[in-house]
Structure 1
Amino acid sequence: MIVSTIMACSILVGGFIFLVAIRVPVAFALGIATIPIVMLDMRLTPFIIIDRMFQSYNSFILLAVPFFLLAANLMNSGKVTDKLIELARVLTGWMPGGLGHVNVAVSMLFAGISGSSTADAAGCGKILIPAMVKEGYDTRFSIAITACSSVMGVIIPPSILMVVWGGVMQVSVGALFLGGAIPGILIGLSLMATVYGYAKVYNYPTAGTPTFAEFWHALKGAALAMFTPILVIGGIVGGIVTPTESAIIAAGYALILGMFVYRTVTVRDLGAILYDTGRFASISLFAIGTASAFGWMLSFYNVPRLIVTAMTATQFGPLGTGLMIAALFLFFGLFIDAIPTIIILGTVLMPVAQAAGIEPVSFAIIGIVSLAFGLVTPPYGLCLLISAAIGGMNVMQVMRDVVIILIPMLMILLLIIIFPEIVLWLPKLLMPGSFR
C-alpha cells in the first residue's frame, strides 16, 4: 500500500495530537506517531526512521547543547548567580520597585552566560522570589516577573535554541547570536518599564542607593563571570572558534571559576552537576532525533511543499508573512517544547519566509522570540511552572500578572517583525559575510 499525502498528514498530525492529549511526553509522541505510517506504506521500513534519528545526531554543532547546559549548571552551583544578583542590585536596585528591576537585570546578565531559560528561572528564582516576598512584593508579581524575565535566557546570546536553529537550518550561529542581542535588550527594557509601573501603583520600595565602594565590590565580584559572553560570542564572531568549541570553552571557564577562583564547587559536587547536565541534554537530544524523523516523514509526503504553495498563494508580503509565522510559533509554543518545534515547524516555514523576502536571521529571531514566550504560557510554560513551584502557588493564580507583563514583550516582537533591521543591523555590521 502507498499512503497518500493527505492520509499521511492526517495520521502523523492526528496521532501526535492524540498522544500529547493523553499526556505522552512530546519527544516520545513524535516518534510513536510515525509508526502507523511505517506499517502502512510498503516504501518505508523502521530502519529508515532509526537512520533519520541517527543522522540528526551526526552534527558537530549540536555538541554545543550539553556543554552550554554544563556551563549553566556550573555557574548555578558555583554561586555565580549570587554575584550577578549583587551586581544587578547596585546597577538597578535604586529605582522604584528595586528588587523587580534586579530580577530583570540579573536575568539579562545570566542570559549572557548560560543560554538556558530554565536554568535562569531555577537559579535566580530560588534567591529572588523569597527575597521579593520578604520585602513586601506580591507573591504573584514576584513569580510572574521571574518567569517572564527568564525567557531572555534563550534570546540574549549565547542561546541553546540559536545553536539548534543554526545546526538544523544551516544558518550562521554567530549571526543569530548578534541578531538576538538588540531584541533581547529591548525586551529587558520593556520588562523594567513594567516593573516601574507596578512599583508606582503598589508603592514597592527601592533596594537602596549603593555607594561607590559597593558598586566597585560588586563589579569586581562579577567581572570574571561577565567575561564568559565575551569569550563565547567574541570567539564565534571573530571566527576564532566554532559554536561547539565556544561552548566547551564556556564550560571549562565555568569549571575553573567554580573550583579554583570562587572555590564554591568541589570534586564531590561534580558528580551531581554532570548527572543533571546529562539528564537534561539527553532529553533535548532525544527530542531532536524524534522530531527529525517526524519532520523527514512530513517532507517525504510533500506536506511542507503543499503548505508553502498555499501560504505563498495568499501573497501577504513580508509583514503579513512575518505576523503569520509569529502566530504559528506562538501557538505551537503553548503545547510543545521549543526544540522539536524548531525542527518541525521551522523547516516547514523556512521556504515560506524566503519566498516572502524575509532574511533567514530575521526569520530565526522571530521564531525564537515567539517560542520563548511559550515558556511562560500554559499548558507547557516550563519557566512559569518552575517559578510557581518556587513561590508555592498554582500557575493559574499568577496568570493575570503574566498576561500584563507579556503585553509589552509582545509589542517588542511586533516591532522586530515590522522593522527587521532591529535584528539585522548588528550581524550585518559585524558579520557581513553571513549574508548572501
Structure 2
Amino acid sequence: MIVSTGLACIILVGCFVVLVAIRVPVSFALGLATIPVVAMDLRLTPFLIMDRVFQSYNSFILLAVPFFLLAANLMNSGKITDRLIELARVLTGWLPGGLGQVNVAVSMLFAGISGSSTADAAGCGKILIPAMVRQGYDTRFAVAITACSSVMGVIIPPSILMVVWGGVMSISVGALFLAGAIPGIMIAGALMATVYGYAKVYGYPTAGKPTLAEFWSAFKGAGLAMLTPVFVIGGIVGGIVTPTESAIIAAFYSFILGAFVYRTITARELVTILYDTGRFASISLFAIGTASAFGWMLAFFDVPRLIVGLLTSFEMGSFGTAIVIAALFLLFGLFIDAIPTIIILGTVLFPVATAADIHAVNFAIIGIVSLAFGLVTPPYGLCLLISASIGGLNVVQVVRDVAIILIPMLVILILLITFPEIALWLPKTLMPKSVL
C-alpha cells in the first residue's frame, strides 16, 4: 500500500496529538507516531527510520549541546551564579524594584555564559525568589519575573537553541549568536521597565546604592566569569573556533574557575554535575533523534510542499508571513519543547520563509524568540514550572503576572518582525559573509 500525503499527515499528526494528550513524553510520542505509517507504506521500513534517527546524531555541531549544559551546571555548582548576582546588584539594585531589576540583570549575565534558560531559572531562582519574598515582594511577582527573565538564556548568545537551529538548517551559528544579542538586550530593557512599573505601583524597595568598594569587589568577583562570553562569541566570530569547540572551552573554563580559582567544586560534586549533565543532554538529544525521524516522514510525504503552497497562495507578503510564522511557533511552544519544534516546524516553515523573502537568520530569530514564550506559558512552560516550584506556588496563581510581563516582550517580537534589520545589523557588520 502507498500512503497518500493527506492520509500520512492525518495519521502522523493525529497519533502525535493523541499520545501527547494521554501524557506520553513528547520525545517518545514523536517516535511512536511514525510506527503506523511505516507499517502501512510498503516503501518504508523500521530500519530506514532508525537510520534517520542515527543520522541526526551524526553532527559535530550538536556536541555543543551537552558542553553548554555542562558549563551551566558548573557555573551553578561553582557558586559563580552568586558572584553574578552580586555584580547585578551593584549595577541595577539601586533602581526602583531593586531585587526585581537584579533578577533581570543577572539573567542577562547568566544567559551570556550558559545558553540554558532552565539552568538560569533554577540557579538564580533558588537565590532570588526567597530573597525577594523576604524584602516584601509578592511571591507571585517574584516567581513570574524569574521565569520570564530566564527566557533570555535561549536568546542572548550563546544559546543551545541557536546551536540546534544552525545544525539542523545549515545556518551559521556565529551569525545566529550575533543576531540574538540586540533582541536579547531589548527584551532585558522591556523587563526592567516592567519591574519599574510594578515598583511604582506596589512600592517595592530598592536594594540600596552600592559604595565604590562594593562596586570593585563585585567586578573583581565576577570579572573572570564574565570572560566566558568573550571566549565563546569572540572565538566564533573571529573564526578561531567552531561552536562545538567554543562550548568545550566554556565548560573547561567554568571547571577551572570552580575547581581551582574559587575552589567551590569538590570531586564528589563534579561526579554529580557530570551525571546531571549527561541525563539532561540525553533527554535533549533523544528528542532531536525522534523529531528528526518525524520531520523526515513529513518531508517524505511532501507535507512541507503542501504547506508552502497553501501559505503562498494567500499572498500575505513578508510581514504577513512572518506574523503567521511567529503565531505558529507561539502555538507549538505552548505544548512542545523548543528543540523538537525547531526540527519539525522550523524545517517545514523554512521554505515558506524563503518564498516570502524572509532572511534565514531573521526567520531563526523570530522562531527562537517565539519559542522562548513557550518556556513560561502553560501547559508546557518549563521555566515557569521550575520557578513556581521554588516559590511554593501553583502555576495558575502566577499566570496573571506572567501575562502582564509578557506583553512588552510580545511588543519586542512584533518590532523584530516589522524591522528585520534589528537582528541582522550586527551579523551583517561583523560576519557579512555569513548572512549573504
Instruction: Name the TM-score class by shorter chain.
Output: over 0.9
Deviations along 1:362-415, one digit per CA (max 9) or x if unpaired, are: 000000000001000000000000000000000000100000000000000000
Deviations along 1:233-264, one digit per CA (max 9) or x if unpaired, are: 00000000000000000000000000000000
Matches for 1:28-427 after TM superposition, within 5 Å? 28-427=28-427
2:289 is paired with a residue whose SS is helix
Q: How big is the shift at 1:267?
A: 1.1
- Name the CA distance, whole Å, in 1 between partners of 2:168 and 2:327: 21
TM-score normalised by the chain length of structure 2: 1.00
- Name the CA distance, whole Å, in 1 between partners of 2:205 and 2:413: 30
Paired letter, 2:216: W
- Name the CA distance, whole Å, in 2 between partners of 1:117 and 1:300: 33
Q: How big is the shift at 1:313?
A: 1.2
- Name the CA distance, whole Å, in 2 between partners of 1:287 and 1:425: 33
Paired letter, 2:9: C
The structure 1 segments of at least 4 consecutive aligned residues displaced by more than 6 Å after TM superposition are none
Provide the aligned length of Structure 1 versus Structure 2: 436
- Which range moves more in the overlay, 141-150 or 313-322? 313-322
- Name the CA distance, whole Å, in 2 between partners of 1:17 and 1:379: 14
1:398 is paired with a residue whose SS is helix
Deviations along 1:86-107, one digit per CA (max 9) or x if unpaired, are: 0000000001100000000000
Q: How big is the shift at 1:268?
A: 1.2
Structure 2 gaps of 5+ residues are none
Q: Percent identity?
A: 81
Deviations along 1:71-125, one digit per CA (max 9) or x if unpaired, are: 0000000000000000000000001100000000000000000000000000000
Paired letter, 1:210: P
1:8 counterpart residue number: 8
Deviations along 1:167-193, one digit per CA (max 9) or x if unpaired, are: 000000000000000000000000000
Paired letter, 2:180: G
Q: How big is the shift at 1:435?
A: 2.1
- Name the CA distance, whole Å, in 1 between partners of 2:189 and 2:252: 31
Paired letter, 2:416: I
- Name the CA distance, whole Å, in 2 between partners of 1:314 and 1:163: 32
1:225 is paired with a residue whose SS is coil
Paired letter, 1:294: F
- Name the CA distance, whole Å, in 2 between partners of 1:18 and 1:396: 24
- Name the CA distance, whole Å, in 1 between partners of 2:16 and 2:55: 22
TM-score normalised by the chain length of structure 1: 1.00
Deviations along 1:109-142, one digit per CA (max 9) or x if unpaired, are: 0000000000000000000000000000000000
